[in-house]
Amino acid sequence: MTISAELGGWELPLELQMLRDTVRGFVADDVAAAEATLALGQAKLAPEILAPLQEKARKLGLWALATPERFGGAGLGVLAQVVVAEEAAKCRLGAFFPGAGAIGGDPPSVIFQGTPEQFEHYGRPIIEGRMPKAFTAISEATGGSDPARAIQCRAVRDGDNYILNGSKTWTTHADSAQWGVVYARTGEPGRRDGISCFIIETGLPGFTRSPIPVMIANSPSELHFEDVAVPVANRIGAEGGGFAMADSFLTRARIVYGAGPIGIAEEALRLAVEWAKERRVFGGLLAEKQGAQWMLADCRIALDAARLLVYRAAWKADRNEPARPEAAMAKWAATEAAFKTLDTCIQLMGGMGVSCELPLERWFRELRIKRLGEGATEIQRMIVARDVLA
């Protein structure tokens, strides 16, 4: 990211501007047409419609974006992933299905720290589009925001296997995945070095999964493990090294996570501005009323500020500098500003804002969830407070 003297502000490098325009055109031209086939309340595109979209995404280079080039991916940095995430969320299905599910191909990043055999068997099929997304199971009912202490799901070594017992909750992609990574306790309770990471195939005896209905039609899953025998060969990294591996990608994931809500809010703001310029109230246009103008101005300021925090965190991460507090600020600012923007846009548009004819009501429900995902708002404040007090 460079500073443009001409514009007097931040300006993305030319290659990232080109990437942004590619995603923007793909969403506007291809994704919008595909989403027009969705019935009201339908959460996913039909496979015969999604497959051509994914094929075009691969041709455009919008596939396996976070996967390093040496593993066959695009190898994009965090800032580039942020640019894609913001634009890809400007679709009816929002940030949960960026580009309506067309932009994907990344396996859980921890697989890149596994053995070559683990990557070839589990990671490569996802990158090549031969296998659906895998899940990452960390959170448990005892406390998803504090996994180091809360993880009770236990794996006990028994010869060439680990015997896994316990449960995980709020796990995305588990409904259709063929495998996933599970973080379980192999050491002392409460210790970060007592957690290990395992590859779990969904067909293993004793493993079950069930949907958790939530406020949008994209249900996460609860996973149950009853004496599940997991081969030692399916452990990623050293025993007890799971949390360190998870912590290394959580910060970067939090930054990218914040970009999607900004994209949704930007599209909502665009719709609200168009509405205000056409809607006549009390003898004039809504856009001419100072109250409406100030509401729109507040949204613009909040979104621009949040985006700059996300960009700063991504810039630091790309420089391999510690960015945990910056990521927390970015995630907090992005999700809070986006949620308030959606609320404001719905208020400005009145009945049309809550109509299912427009996607604002769905986006509003999604952004309410986004304030919890990747660490709730209060957790981000706690991280920032620790940094301030340090």
Q: Quick check: 166 and 228 in contact, CB under 8 A? A: no
> Can you list the alpha helix ranges (DSSP code H) found in the chain?
14-26, 32-35, 47-59, 78-88, 116-118, 124-127, 147-150, 242-278, 290-318, 324-349, 351-354, 360-370, 377-389
Instruction: Dig out the tokens for 387 from the structure.
Output: 């940094």
Catalytic residues: 374
The pair of structure tokens assigned to 274 is 């168009």
Tokens linked to 265: 């809010």
Burial (CB < 10 A; 0-12, 13-18, 19+), residue 297, is exposed
For residue 131 the two structure tokens come to: 């296998």
H or E element in which residue 213 lies: none
Chain CA centroid to CA 252, Å? 11
- Amino acid (one-letter) located at 3: I
SS3 248: helix
Across-strand partners of 164? 155, 228
**Bridge partners of 12?**
none
The Cα–Cα gap between 200 and 224 comes to: 12
- Tell me how far the alpha carbon of residue 257 is from its chain's centroid: 4
Give the bridge partners for 179, in sequence order. 201
Helix, coil or strand: residue 323:
coil
